[in-house]
Structure 1
């Protein structure tokens, strides 16, 4: 079975990109032929891609200069690349809409899975309306989301499946040691909705006598601005984008996040898989659901509460207790084996459908 996975960005580090890489690994291990296509080269990192993957190279300027021209060209690209695919997996609402449009003119020959990562209600009204209309014309397309909360947003579609993103789990629990300096870690996009600056302020204004160092791993629009603003503060270390986030997680004591909302907190779950307790400021639902279910940390509604939890985790026994709770939760619910079985079941059902 030939499968194509379509995502917006190449050379970008983010939750969607990690999820796509993990899914490609799962499908490849199950002896499926997989190709991956990207609309835009984000150029955050430069890596040599595996031979099994093929990409469309566009830089951001093509999109910024004329969105209409970009989407017209993108439509033709999608039409050409999806023609011989038996199954299409799309990871954003705009690409899904264009593929559904192409499918309509092909009498819905291609089987389409619309794998949505971004909160549906956060998309533009235009793309939400276009997606709903085109989805109503395709009786075989399936929507995949990663939580019951997101599923409720697709009430207009009866073919919605919940499959969480897989997390590469670790084999052993972690025992935290007492330390004079606590290493805090944030991994993710450095943009306004991730609340990186409010996270920095919460750390550097903490009145505790314990020393904290906040390591920030990732790239984005606010990176250079924040690096310049806090360049003389030795509590804040910027490491830029990195593919080797496991190195940072293994050396850290607590994972922290100032994000305003997360649909599905992939990086938090990755941190839990390394036995790290978590403190987050995201009260939108995605993160709080994971943390409350796992016992792996706390969701805070204010800077003061965030700082109180930092003080709480100065105790290495408490870090170990909550870290182990998160570790067990991830292994039980998000391991590659569990998610692989769910994806293969969905793909087998899609493959059994008649054209």
Structure 2
């Protein structure tokens, strides 16, 4: 009996030890698996520099600060940080666009500066083509806008995240422009983009192409008499200090596009990409809203600074539109695909 009791005690002791070891092994294995899972789910941290040429209080930078930056940082769980470089701090449009292409800058918001190499990106800037903000948004957020950004990605290797609005372009000047004859001899700054240079010349002005960063000084020193931009730029860039009149010509619409370097984009995890895409959509929707709604308040502000607004009558508008028609004829000769695209844009939303 004594012998059997000793045997049972030994068996019980061995069983207890084995169970304890097994439990520890299972727990260690579980911890290891848990650590692996935790390590696998932790995204790498990145800082995203976003460059643009707008003043800090322009709708673009308001939307970046109030929507894009906080949403990216929140939705990515803090793995992505956003730094906004407004007002040409990382160079003018050409410089920061090149920076995004080569990867020294992660993201940027250019206009259609790339259209010399990617002609489809310039279609929506053809004169008197887009009717209003609703029309512009429908075109850019639809199949035509996607066709444009697909071409951009293929040719220049940058990934487009969202379309946003600069707005309808008008002429601000140091004297009244109220008829076609007033364009004669007007030294007019235009962006260094063929469509704008041709447009200014078609209207009868003496065109001086230059980047936005040089415009204020050129007007202050009377190197040029006027420039063209949406009035939000006139306000945010302080052009009212050196200009007296604005012609509400609405002769063209300029969009912006939020782009990201392709190599950087590929490095992001699926979760991070989703965070950026969702934030980009909310930023763009907000920026469109701000741009459209700010027109009347910007106009009131500029009038308060002494600027006089000239609203062209039907005859003047018709004369301006007629003056630029040869631009379309030469455009279709150079790019046979453009005629169908322009017609699709005209029919959108009708």
Q: Does TM, normalized by the shorter one, top 0.5?
A: no
TM-score, normalising length from structure 2? 0.31
Give 1 or 2 for the bigger CA radius of gyration: 2
Q: TM-score, with normalisation over the residues of structure 1?
A: 0.31
Higher relative contact order (CA 8 A, sep 6+): 2
